[in-house]
Chain A
Amino acid sequence: MQMARRRWWANKWYVPAFALVLGIVLWVAQWVGGNPRSGAEMFAIMVGAGLIFLLGGRSETIRGLRGDGRDERFAALDLKATAFAGMVVITCVIAGFVVELARGEDGNPYALLGAAGGIAYVIAVLVLRFRS
């Protein structure tokens, strides 16, 4: 009985390739913004991160993160870690929103980020509620 269904992205190349593409996008964006040197540094960082994922296959954590070593336990870890990261982000967004209000501003962009997060959460709950 196969426990973990293989996803199309669950191979050793997807995350390194994504890091490379993101690095190029960041470099181009920085170039357009007049900071090609800073863009090159970002590109180098992303290439480095991609190489760590590509060559770090001996580590269970690396294999789990990039997908080819992911089973149900790692999927559960990933879900909990994502929820924790989401809580940290939304806490920072709320804190930023309050600080902006205290400064006499309108609370943006934190208000928009908070609204996007809240709406996404409610939609996800509703969809999952009807699918389960």
Chain B
Amino acid sequence: MKNEVRNLRTALGFSQEELAKATGVSRQTINSIEKERYTPSLPLAIALARYFQRTVEEVFDADGKA
């Protein structure tokens, strides 16, 4: 699924490892989401959106399927 995770993360200056730790998943999972190879579960999508202080719709584009 298309998303803004990489843009939001780099804008905040965080590493994939830091984002992974904050959301309770592996760094590889964050990498897969950023590369649009893996669509996260709803709880993880909400956790990512909360981390970036955005709405889920602002982080993930459900219409622009990867």
Q: Which residues of B contact A3 (CB under 8 A)?
A: 23-25, 41, 43-44, 47
- Kindly name the residue among A3, A69, A73, A74 whose own CB sees the greatest number of chain B CB atoms within 10 A: A73
The answer to whether B23 and A1 have CB atoms under 8 Å apart is: yes
**Is B26 in contact with chain A by the CB < 8 A criterion?**
yes
Name the 6 nearest CB pairs between A and B, nearest first.
A3-B24, A71-B25, A1-B47, A73-B29, A2-B24, A71-B26
Chain A: residues with Cβ within 8 Å of the partner, total of: 12
Q: Which residues of B contact A2 (CB under 8 A)?
A: 24
Q: Which residues of B contact A105 (CB under 8 A)?
A: none
Measuring CB to CB, which residues of chain A are less than 8 angstroms from any residue of chain B? Answer: 1-4, 60, 64, 69, 71-74, 76
Number of A-B contacts (CB under 8 A): 39
Q: Which residues of A contact B41 (CB under 8 A)?
A: 3, 72
A73 CB contact (under 8 Å) in B25, B43, B46, B50: B25
Question: A64–B29 Cα gap in the complex (Å)?
Answer: 12
Question: A1–B50 Cα gap in the complex (Å)?
Answer: 10
Question: A98–B50 Cα gap in the complex (Å)?
Answer: 56
Q: Which residues of A contact B29 (CB under 8 A)?
A: 71-74
